[in-house]
Amino acid sequence: MSHPIPAIGLGTFRLQGPVVIDSVRTGLELGYRHVDTAQIYGNEADVGLAIAQSNVARDELFVTTKIWTEHLAGDKLIPSLKDSLQKLRLEQVDLTLIHWPSPQDAVPVAEYMQALLAAKRAGLTRQIGISNFTARHMREAIDAVGASEIETNQVEVHPYLQNRTVAAFAREHGIHVTAYMPLAYGKVMADPVIAAIADRHRATPAQVALAWLLQQGYAVIPSSTKRANLEANLGAARIVLTGDDMAAIAALEANERIANPEGIAPQWD
């Protein structure tokens, strides 16, 4: 049975303790069925608690976690995922991503992709994927496990960083793109072009930015600590932008990258 990634998910980066528990609990109440966490966020246990306390059936929920760079070696990946599952109180996650390619390629792509595939075969994760992979890293990942095994490449995409080279390569190989930081960490809210489009659609700038990504076929994982914003972001699925709206937002490309951690980020396309 195939389990496509729900188009709108709930991001949890930076959110800790009661804040993340409240965000996930509220999100699940409002109808989110896709939660995005990671080993490095330090919140898997709180995300797991919020899920366990909800009334949502396990098979209705899509949970993603990501393997941190220190756990990429062939003998470390599976034990680290088992640790994540314990924190999340789950027997299996729906999707496990390699969070970043190994810095300076210290661990070869084939080694961690094969370990990730072994985790899938062992039933620890229903699907596998990658994050922050360049076209070169995607090519190596495809060589290692085959494109059909790679569900998604989760990368930064918003109006100011459209990541067109990576998106085109992924599309060519049938790999879905998940857009992270889809609101450019709040910057879209102050954009006059997006605000004008939002006014015409009686929507908010955040909804327009999300609709622009959804209409390109991307999954989106905005985060929010506020009920009203969580609810509004889910409503983005109902907005239909015109071709002119889509083109006006596409023209905002500025190669403005937000997530670029020194010593970890690869040489970008």
Ligand X SMILES: NC(=O)c1ccc[n+]([C@@H]2O[C@H](COP(=O)([O-])OP(=O)(O)OC[C@H]3O[C@@H](n4cnc5c(N)ncnc54)[C@H](OP(=O)(O)O)[C@@H]3O)[C@@H](O)[C@H]2O)c1
Is 131 a binding residue for ligand X by CB under 6 A? The answer is yes
Q: Is the separation of the CB atoms in 80 and 39 below 8 Å?
A: yes
Structure tokens of 188? Answer: 């879209």
Q: For residue 214, what is the enclosing H or E element?
A: helix 205-214
Q: Please say if 112 is a catalytic residue.
A: no
Q: Closer CB to ligand X, residue 21 or residue 221?
A: 221
Q: How far is the CB of 1 from ligand X (least distance, A)?
A: 26
Catalytic residue among 41, 112, 180, 218: 41
Residues near 138 by beta carbon (within 8 Å), at least 6 away in sequence: 130, 150, 153, 166, 169, 170, 173, 175
3-class DSSP assignment, residue 2:
coil
Is 226 a binding residue for ligand X by CB under 6 A? The answer is yes
Q: What are phi and psi of 219, to 5 degrees?
A: -85, 155
Alpha-carbon distance of 152 to 167, in angstroms, equals 11
Is 48 a binding residue for ligand X by CB under 6 A? The answer is no
* Residue 145: burial class (beta carbons within 10 Å; 0-12, 13-18, 19+): middle
Q: Closer CB to ligand X, residue 76 or residue 227?
A: 227
Q: Which residue is nearest to ligand X (CB)?
A: 11
Is 182 a binding residue for ligand X by CB under 6 A? The answer is yes
Q: Which stretch binds ligand X (CB under 6 A): 7-15, 85-93, 142-150, 249-257?
A: 7-15
Q: Closer CB to ligand X, residue 55 or residue 90?
A: 90
Number of residues interacting with ligand X: please give it, by CB under 6 A: 28
- For residue 18, which amino acid is it? P
Binding mask 77-116 for ligand X (x = CB under 6 A): ----------------------x-----------------
Alpha-carbon distance of 79 to 58, in angstroms, equals 23
Residues of this chain that interact with ligand X (CB under 6 A) are 11-13, 36, 99, 131-132, 154, 180-186, 189, 204, 206, 221-226, 229, 232-233, 259
Cite the active site residues: 41
